[in-house]
Amino acid sequence: MSPAQDVHAMAPTQGGLRLRSVGLSGIRKPLVVRRPDREHTLAVTFHVAVDLPSGRKGSDLSRNAEILAEVVDETATRPVGSLEMACSRIASELLARHSYATEASVRASAEYFLRQGVSEEKRSFEDYTLLAEATVSHAPSGGLLLQRAVGAEAVGMTACPCAMETCRELLTREHPQLADPALRDLPMITHNQRNRTRLVFEIAEEAEVEVDRVIAAIEAAQSSPTYAILKRGDEGEVVLRAHRHPKFVEDVLRDLLASLPERFPALPDAVAVRASTVSEESIHKYNVEASHRITLGELRHPTDG
Amino acid sequence: MSPAQDVHAMAPTQGGLRLRSVGLSGIRKPLVVRRPDREHTLAVTFHVAVDLPSGRKGSDLSRNAEILAEVVDETATRPVGSLEMACSRIASELLARHSYATEASVRASAEYFLRQGVSEEKRSFEDYTLLAEATVSHAPSGGLLLQRAVGAEAVGMTACPCAMETCRELLTREHPQLADPALRDLPMITHNQRNRTRLVFEIAEEAEVEVDRVIAAIEAAQSSPTYAILKRGDEGEVVLRAHRHPKFVEDVLRDLLASLPERFPALPDAVAVRASTVSEESIHKYNVEASHRITLGELRHPTDG
Amino acid sequence: MSPAQDVHAMAPTQGGLRLRSVGLSGIRKPLVVRRPDREHTLAVTFHVAVDLPSGRKGSDLSRNAEILAEVVDETATRPVGSLEMACSRIASELLARHSYATEASVRASAEYFLRQGVSEEKRSFEDYTLLAEATVSHAPSGGLLLQRAVGAEAVGMTACPCAMETCRELLTREHPQLADPALRDLPMITHNQRNRTRLVFEIAEEAEVEVDRVIAAIEAAQSSPTYAILKRGDEGEVVLRAHRHPKFVEDVLRDLLASLPERFPALPDAVAVRASTVSEESIHKYNVEASHRITLGELRHPTDG
Amino acid sequence: MSPAQDVHAMAPTQGGLRLRSVGLSGIRKPLVVRRPDREHTLAVTFHVAVDLPSGRKGSDLSRNAEILAEVVDETATRPVGSLEMACSRIASELLARHSYATEASVRASAEYFLRQGVSEEKRSFEDYTLLAEATVSHAPSGGLLLQRAVGAEAVGMTACPCAMETCRELLTREHPQLADPALRDLPMITHNQRNRTRLVFEIAEEAEVEVDRVIAAIEAAQSSPTYAILKRGDEGEVVLRAHRHPKFVEDVLRDLLASLPERFPALPDAVAVRASTVSEESIHKYNVEASHRITLGELRHPTDG
């Protein structure tokens, strides 16, 4: 069948207005990624878009679905190195095949399972979220400009340092023995809760960020990581660890950011990080959260305070 | 305009099959309810449905939307006594106006705000969920049979009794003073978390269930209620209360059910209750939950154990 | 470390009440399933629970997480035949390891990708949902009783038959040529929308239900399946197909149920099916839905109408 | 009780890092707003935050909950003029009571019901979403700088112009009569679906934006608004209207933006608008979307194309 007239390529009915972003959202695809341990099949949610010039009525969205299918299907036989690499490849193809576009952007998120455990023999799959973005645009110089972001979100636990001191004071009134210096370090009751923390690196072309190390950085900054399998003694160990590292969301964020220069020494100063953390407070029906954006250079060479 | 042919009333193309339930879901309406304290405007999500006989192609769904609008709009000037009363009225109208139906059902849920506080001067609005259902059918005797359900969900807090004892043992090894009988009752650290508990009464025609008392029963069964406004000392009090009432989800459910005979003495033995509770475990990424259904008669006259 | 006292095994504080269901929900695991075409890694959400006798305070929930990990991890090297088989195995293990329980239940759902297309060369991954359940209990005879359920949900499209006839009438007034008998079959404009339809088989021990055939049955009952890749001409074909099969949700449900005897001839009469369908109406902000439950025997030997 | 030591005010353990945003999210409150027609009780979700200097360990979050309670509770007896006014008041209080902060921000969203109908006698409540933001910071000049945003989201309907022309061509091959010039304007079948469009104005201190007019602008830009109550003839009218105004998401966005100079003549050129639109494609399982940001000045005096 010969196709009907191309309505998308017609002039828009309303006077020309360039649109920043036109694309698909909520499209799900299975992406095969080769990781150090094994091949992972990620179920990815993609958002893909390009800009639209003022003289064209519509974006040719069926191309977006075709590109996604091609790049993703190919990974079934040739796994890609990372979610972020898939995003970069898709963004480049988008810009190449939408000849009228000046910029193409891809955002992706996917659930990711890692074998973790409170001890070696109690390891099982814990679920995390991977995040990746890629934007390709025509550089003024004539080449292509690629901006990327790669990150992860991990669920762990926080214990409140403020309520801990209040409870110590309350309980010491009832039990004066608690004032004994030998009990000064006794971890006291406080509220603790699920904490979701997200860390995303905005990186230049060559740099690589290993997501397992992003997850490790997040879990080290929470009061404690959490695990699917905890026998009785293990539960105690995790609770104890959390109460020996009581943290506000502010502490989680600062400890996470402060750890990055040492954990990611190879990344250049110009790399920016976006970090956010949410504690689903057990003593409130609402959440508490903190967020920040900063470059590795600013973290390495602080001028503030 | 004279309407087109009534496609709904035609015979179905496929050989006749009666369908149990055909209706609308996810329809939102503002319902004005008169409560002891004040008028509440509830934003309600309704599910309304009737059965469909084998000889009719479609249910006349525009009637459902009309009935909802009529009953709900009327409450703007004449508030209804409860969400459940609105459901009963809607169910009766559904059955009356779908002449081919033998049963009509309505399910509703709505957010509900109550002024609560850890103390009188720190009260502010806490949010809960109201739940109501009504089913009207033709009784074999020729009259109408009305079945109703009314309930609520409240978010509170649980503290784990098992990890508390494990931590007591772990910490006593480090701090032998904790073995002192005077410190035997010292509440010890454990994991605590948000808990969502739901209680629904399946009631006969005349009985009334006051939702504020349903919410009070739930909050009394959790380790502690939670509050929006907690100054430093208050935080300590709530944490202490939760750790002095450490509970598994099993305990929350049993304590809740065991409290009902005393809290709802006027309800007949035949009333059944559905109860469920979910703790969003701080030490795991998954939830722990328990559920049960039992009659008040069985709770009042236990034969088991 | 020797474990602390087993708080779960203690007597409950409140007078004994047996609880129907205590377990974990929202736990995510990657399950490797061997399918005719290839191995699929399903990201599964599990709900696992057992009952709890009146004399025991708590269920030993860490066993649930261990069993899930064992059964699921094993599939990384030895893929299981289906999601439902994994559920049955998990349910059996739950009952075996909770010695105090009389019934164990598992519910699972997972996203599932199939390569589909409007034509062979336009195939790409479409996403569906798999559903499975298994309940194992002690039979009065002394053996074990296994009840299973297996099903799927597919998103497709419905076009409304009623609005189509109304529009035909409205447009024929403006364009009397439409009354020409040669144009009688011209598909007319109507509202069309996303439709989500779910079909679950409740099956006995030996029977097998192939989920790809469940999905095929659902898509055949909708006005049209939908696809990720549709070039201009393909879009027209899909729209045309949907408008040549205009369907109410009632029609989708009846056509689906009526097709089952022919599509699943090997399943015994005692098998029950639960079917439900939701259309996300384009002309309303709410959804329209229908649901039914019936045995294959009743579908094969209708007595009604 | 004298409060325990103020842990929030202590120095942070990690070397000082200023944090951009620390606050509460997901807190729900009932806000009473006086509208031209009547008082509305909005169930609002708030996000409130301030920045945190490098020398302070934690933000005093209980103040945030207190301020929210005070401002919101007051509206029960003295309704506020708009959701946005409540946001501005809360932001000002946040900055005043967090003496260490340099910026306070509030974001709010709420469901909003308006009586609408395809005709006067078929009006009933349709649900929309209101959006508001306020940021208050210390201006370099010494005063306070207030930035505000106000907007809404409305669900309507789009019909695809491209598939319509493809179907016209396909059907004209089968029915050559359709080539008759008298049938040239006959609206043809196409896919149509739910569309969610959002428009937010970023405004300076004095300007006012009436949300009912924002909603009217959005509904005028969609292929058709949608309604809860549609009798048979009405359904035809809405379907016809949508098919006489077939629109891509690109068209919805451009038509919406192009209409703003005439619809909001009093707003200054410096006001920026953020617009986005999502069509839940009936022929795909994914969504199609477009977004843009532009000033009213740029819309009034286009230089592009």
CA distance D10 to chain C (A): 37
Rg (CA), chain B: 24
What's the pLDDT score for residue A68?
Answer: 96
Beta bridge partners of A136: A104, A146
pLDDT grade for B305, boundaries at 50, 70 and 90: very low
CA distance A219 to chain D (A): 17
Architecture of domain B21-119: Roll (3.10)
Q: Strand ranges (DSSP E) for chain C?
A: 19-34, 39-52, 103-116, 124-138, 144-159, 192-203, 224-225, 272-279, 287-295
What CA–CA distance (Å, rounded) separates B285 from C90? Answer: 20
Question: Among A53-62, B139-148, B164-173, D61-70, which stretch is predicted with the lowest mean pLDDT?
Answer: B139-148
What 3-state DSSP class applies to B229? coil
* Buried b / exposed e along C228-267 (16+ C-beta atoms within 10 A): bbbbbbbbbbbbbbbbebbbbbbbbbbbbbbbbeeebeeb
CA distance A55 to chain D (A): 7
Give every CB contact of residue B81 below 8 A, 6+ residues apart in sequence.
B33, B34
Q: Strand ranges (DSSP E) for chain A?
A: 19-34, 39-52, 103-116, 124-138, 144-159, 192-203, 224-225, 272-279, 287-295
Domain boundaries, chain B: 21-119, 139-305
CATH code for the structural domain at B139-305:
3.10.270.10
Torsion, CA D69, CA D75, CA D78, CA D80, rounded to 10: 120
What's the pLDDT score for residue B3?
Answer: 47
% of chain B beyond a pLDDT of 70: 97
C-alpha angle B234-B240-B245 in degrees, rounded to nearest 5? 130
Kindly report the pTM of this predicted structure. Answer: 0.96
What CA–CA distance (Å, rounded) separates B160 from B224? Answer: 12
Beta strands at D272-279 and D224-225: parallel, antiparallel or unpaired: unpaired
- C58 vs A: CB within 8 A: no
Position of tokens 């599509």?
A: C263
- A282 vs B: CB within 8 A: yes
- A238 vs C: CB within 8 A: no
CB spacing of D165 vs A4 below 8 angstroms: yes
pLDDT (tens digit per residue) in C67-123: 999 999 899 889 999 999 999 999 999 999 999 999 999 999 999 999 999 999 999
pLDDT (tens digit per residue) in C53-77: 999 999 999 999 999 999 998 998 8
| CA neighbours closer than 13 Å in the CB half-sphere of residue B274 | 12
- The residue with greater pLDDT, A73 or C262, is C262
This complex has an ipTM of: 0.93
What's the pLDDT score for residue B15?
Answer: 60
Neighbours of chain D (3+ CB pairs under 8 A): A, B, C
Judging contacts by C-beta atoms under 8 Å, the chain C residues touching residue A76 are: 38
Q: Residue B291 is nearest to which of C20, C59, C299, comparing CB atoms?
A: C20
Domains B21-119 and B139-305 share a fold: yes
What CA–CA distance (Å, rounded) separates A97 from A92? Answer: 9
pLDDT (tens digit per residue) in A166-212: 999 999 999 999 999 999 889 999 999 999 999 999 998 778 899 99
What CA–CA distance (Å, rounded) separates D41 from D27? Answer: 16
CATH code for the structural domain at D21-138:
3.10.270.10
- A299 vs B: CB within 8 A: no
Q: Is the pLDDT of residue C134 over 60?
A: yes
Residues 154-183 of C with CB under 8 A from D: 155, 157, 160, 162-163, 166-167, 169-171, 175, 177-178, 180, 182-183
Give every CB contact of residue C61 below 8 A, 6+ residues apart in sequence.
B288, C22, C23, C24
Q: Which CATH class is domain A18-107?
A: alpha beta
Mean pLDDT to the nearest integer, B248-257: 98
Mean pLDDT to the nearest integer, B147-175: 97
CATH code for the structural domain at C20-107:
3.30.479
What CA–CA distance (Å, rounded) separates D3 from C65? Answer: 42
CA distance C137 to chain D (A): 39
C-alpha angle A129-A131-A136 in degrees, rounded to nearest 5? 165
CB spacing of C182 vs D180 below 8 angstroms: no
- B257 vs C: CB within 8 A: yes
Residues 116-155 of A with CB under 8 A from C: 124-125, 127
CB spacing of D191 vs C242 below 8 angstroms: yes
Q: Is the pLDDT of residue B275 over 70?
A: yes
Mean pLDDT to the nearest integer, B14-29: 91
- D229 vs B: CB within 8 A: yes
Contact D164, D187 (CB under 8 A): yes
What CA–CA distance (Å, rounded) separates C226 from C242? Answer: 10
Which ranges of chain D have pLDDT less than 70?
A: 1-4, 14-15, 304-305
Amino acid at D93: E
What's the pLDDT score for residue A3?
Answer: 47
pLDDT (tens digit per residue) in B55-91: 999 999 999 999 999 999 899 889 999 999 999 999 9
Q: Residue C43 is nearest to which of A65, A111, A229, comparing CB atoms?
A: A111
- Topology given in CATH for the domain delimited by D154-305: Urate Oxidase (3.10.270)
What's the pLDDT score for residue D286?
Answer: 98
What's the pLDDT score for residue C3?
Answer: 47
CB spacing of D21 vs A292 below 8 angstroms: yes
Judging contacts by C-beta atoms under 8 Å, the chain D residues touching residue B3 are: 231-233
Run of H or E including A238: helix A232-244
